[in-house]
Amino acid sequence: MQFCEILTAHQVSVAGEQEGVVGTKADALLRLATLLAAGVGASRGSHDLAGEIERVLVERERLQSTGVGGGVAIPHGVLEAAERQVGAVLLCPRSIEFDAIDGEPVSILCAVIGPTRATGEHLKMLARISRLLRDPGFRRRLLSSPSGRLAFDMIVAEEGRGQL
């Protein structure tokens, strides 16, 4: 399964004037939780899913930062209410401190929430996202995207190249 298969264009956001500024790790996790809740809520009734997802992401960050280096973070977790894996992308042209492994700020955040029963699928998706974002040129192009829709299209095209 490709990352773009658990995303929609509506679950990709560019922080800034139109979408609202993201200045902190907490802001980023809240925005990602809201984006993820839209995907999870599509198949379930929404009962403060964003709040539940935010708690899961924050708890995971307390264990160890998901900032993997190179300006990338991959916040993730599991949620009983999730029937399938759901992804979200937040691009922050103004990098934010994220306690990343390399000590550098983060600009690209790809989040995944999945069902508690699908640990193997969850780990495979995290590896796929890691491979997708290993190319510095792709990261630069993605970060320069002016809209979530265009960023989503870039992800689809990059995965469609068949090199992942």
CATH number for 12 = 3.40.930.10
Query: What's the pLDDT score for residue 12?
Result: 96
Indicate which residue of 10, 47, 76, 122 is catalytic. 76
- Whether 76 is catalytic is yes
Q: Please say whether the beta carbons of 125 and 113 come within 8 A.
A: no
| Nearest CA among 65, 162, 60 for reference residue 104 | 65
Q: How far is CA 59 from the centre of its chain?
A: 16
Query: What's the pLDDT score for residue 117?
Result: 86
Query: What's the pLDDT score for residue 81?
Result: 83
- Tell me how many domains the chain contains: 1
pLDDT tens over the chain, length 164 residues = 899 999 999 999 999 856 678 999 999 999 999 999 988 875 554 558 999 999 999 999 999 999 999 999 999 999 988 899 999 999 999 999 999 999 999 999 999 999 988 788 989 999 999 999 999 999 999 999 999 999 999 999 999 876 54
Q: Please say whether the beta carbons of 113 and 40 come within 8 A.
A: yes
User: What is the residue range of 54's domain?
Assistant: 3-160
Q: Please say whether the beta carbons of 39 and 4 come within 8 A.
A: no
Residue 153 CB partners (closer than 8 Å, separation 6+): 9
Query: What's the pLDDT score for residue 71?
Result: 97
Query: What's the pLDDT score for residue 164?
Result: 47
